[in-house]
């Protein structure tokens, strides 16, 4: 008798997964675009907003801080506040990962902000030191008291330079966006050294560039942002979620099925993922602006390493690992982004798969 526990997911196997699935807007990109919407001096609508809990949480945060926000279907619409209340409520800020990014936008808008440390998923420590460094570089006095952060600037902020690098962890995606949002409303040209080039950053930068902010990339070395006193609104589309699309593709392949990823062209996958899919035996064919995914020859063993964009995304490593348990041979996947993110190995081993850090 199946349980009625609403927190459980019940899976009945033994069937091929086949059909057409629309890929919703990217969760991670949308969360950063929501923060950028705080800077607009005109109404702004983001189409393709994903239907996830975080969208509603951010909409409530923005409304609490004065930015009038509505979510209708997949349209996330903001209107500038008459008066900004630059406080991210503790209860809400601890439910999402991009709290510090929203705080950076509020600091840019109001010259001060109070916010809790981020929440959301907790598979690893969520450090915000690079976010706080960006705020300090932008002229803010930053005070951390327990789990609460207060930042305040005084007078006109001069252009600044900040470093988004984290040493062994690579560039901080979130801190890069925080710095860009602060620079977008700072007169003159500010520089973010060692910026992340993940799509979440490039799409946020594209929105701001379209809205009147000067954006100049210097490869992976630096990102130069020329701020403005007025940022336009209008309409912008959240790109489809590459991680969701990859998960759906692998789910179909694991069951020997076929999936049509509607409105998701194969070119929307990063190069590292396309290479891994081809090596593992997945076939991607275009259809009506989307992609049909099959695995006609079955899984093949691969050797790869996760890495920053455009490498193989770490968030799709567990799904690929599950698929490769069916391959005739030994695969090797190096997890270089989150070296200890191996919580999926024990369940696979319990099902009889030979998996683990020592498998060669």
- Using left for φ > 0, alpha for ψ between -120 and 50, and beta otherwise, residue 344 falls in alpha
Is the distance from CB of 44 to CB of 237 less than 8 angstroms?
A: no
For residue 231, pLDDT over 90 is answered with yes
Q: Which residues on neighbouring strands pair with residue 17, listed in sequence order?
A: none
Q: Which residue has the higher pLDDT, 5 or 256?
A: 256
What is the tens place of the pLDDT at every residue in 164-218? 998 877 899 999 999 999 999 999 999 999 999 999 999 999 999 999 999 999 9
Q: State yes or no: pLDDT of 236 exceeds 50.
A: yes
Structure tokens at 208: 């701001």
- In angstroms and rounded to an integer, the radius of gyration of the C-alpha atoms of the chain is 22
pLDDT attached to residue 47: 98
Strands (DSSP E) found in the chain: 18-22, 44-47, 68-72, 75-79, 112-116, 141-145, 148-152, 161-163, 189-193, 214-218, 222-226, 234-237, 258-262, 283-287, 290-294, 303-305, 332-334
- pLDDT over 90 percentage in the chain: 81
pLDDT value, residue 1 = 47
The more confident residue out of 202 and 336 is 202
For 2-23, what is each residue's pLDDT tens digit? 556 777 888 888 899 999 999 9
Tell me what pLDDT residue 341 has. 56
**Rounded average pLDDT over 320-331:** 94
| Alpha-carbon gap, residue 102 to 290, rounded angstroms | 33
The predicted pLDDT at position 113 comes to 98
User: Residue 26 above 70 pLDDT?
Assistant: yes
- Calculate the average pLDDT of the chain: 92
For position 332, what pLDDT does the model report?
93
- Burial class from Cβ neighbours inside 10 Å (0-12, 13-18, 19+) for residue 342 reads middle
Q: Is the peptide bond between 310 and the residue preceding it cis, with omega within 30 degrees of 0? A: yes
pLDDT at res. 360: 41
């Amino acid at each position: 008798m199946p349980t009625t526990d609403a927190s459980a997911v019940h899976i009945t196997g033994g069937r091929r997964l086949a059909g057409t699935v629309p890929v919703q807007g990217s969760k991670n990109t949308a969360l950063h675009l929501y923060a950028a919407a705080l800077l607009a001096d005109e109404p702004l609508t983001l189409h393709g907003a994903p239907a996830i809990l975080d969208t509603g949480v951010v909409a409530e945060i923005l409304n609490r801080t004065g930015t009038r926000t509505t979510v209708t279907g997949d349209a996330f619409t903001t209107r500038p506040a008459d008066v900004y209340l630059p406080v991210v409520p503790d209860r809400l800020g601890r439910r999402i990962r991009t709290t510090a990014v929203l705080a950076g936008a509020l600091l840019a808008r109001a010259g001060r902000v109070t916010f809790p440390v981020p929440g959301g998923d907790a598979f690893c420590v969520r450090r915000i030191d690079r976010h706080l460094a960006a705020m300090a570089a932008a002229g803010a006095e930053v005070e951390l008291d327990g789990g609460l952060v207060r930042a305040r600037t005084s007078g006109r902020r001069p252009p600044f330079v900040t470093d988004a690098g984290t040493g062994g962890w690579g560039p901080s995606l979130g801190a890069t966006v925080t710095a860009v949002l602060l620079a977008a409303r700072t007169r003159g040209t500010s520089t973010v050294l060692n910026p992340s080039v993940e799509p979440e950053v490039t799409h946020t930068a594209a929105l701001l560039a379209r809205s009147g902010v000067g954006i100049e990339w210097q490869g992976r070395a630096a990102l130069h942002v020329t701020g403005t006193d007025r940022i336009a609104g209008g309409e912008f589309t959240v790109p489809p979620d590459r991680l969701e699309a990859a998960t759906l593709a692998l789910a179909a392949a694991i069951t020997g099925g076929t999936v049509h990823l509607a409105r998701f062209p194969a070119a929307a996958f990063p190069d590292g993922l396309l290479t891994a899919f081809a090596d593992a035996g997945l076939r991607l064919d275009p259809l009506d602006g989307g992609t049909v995914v099959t695995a006609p020859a079955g899984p093949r063993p691969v050797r790869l390493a996760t890495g920053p964009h455009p490498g193989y995304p770490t968030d799709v490593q567990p799904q690929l690992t599950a698929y490769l348990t069916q391959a005739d041979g030994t695969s090797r996947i190096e997890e270089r982004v989150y070296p200890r993110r191996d919580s999926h190995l024990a369940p696979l081993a319990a099902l009889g798969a030979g998996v683990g850090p020592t498998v060669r």
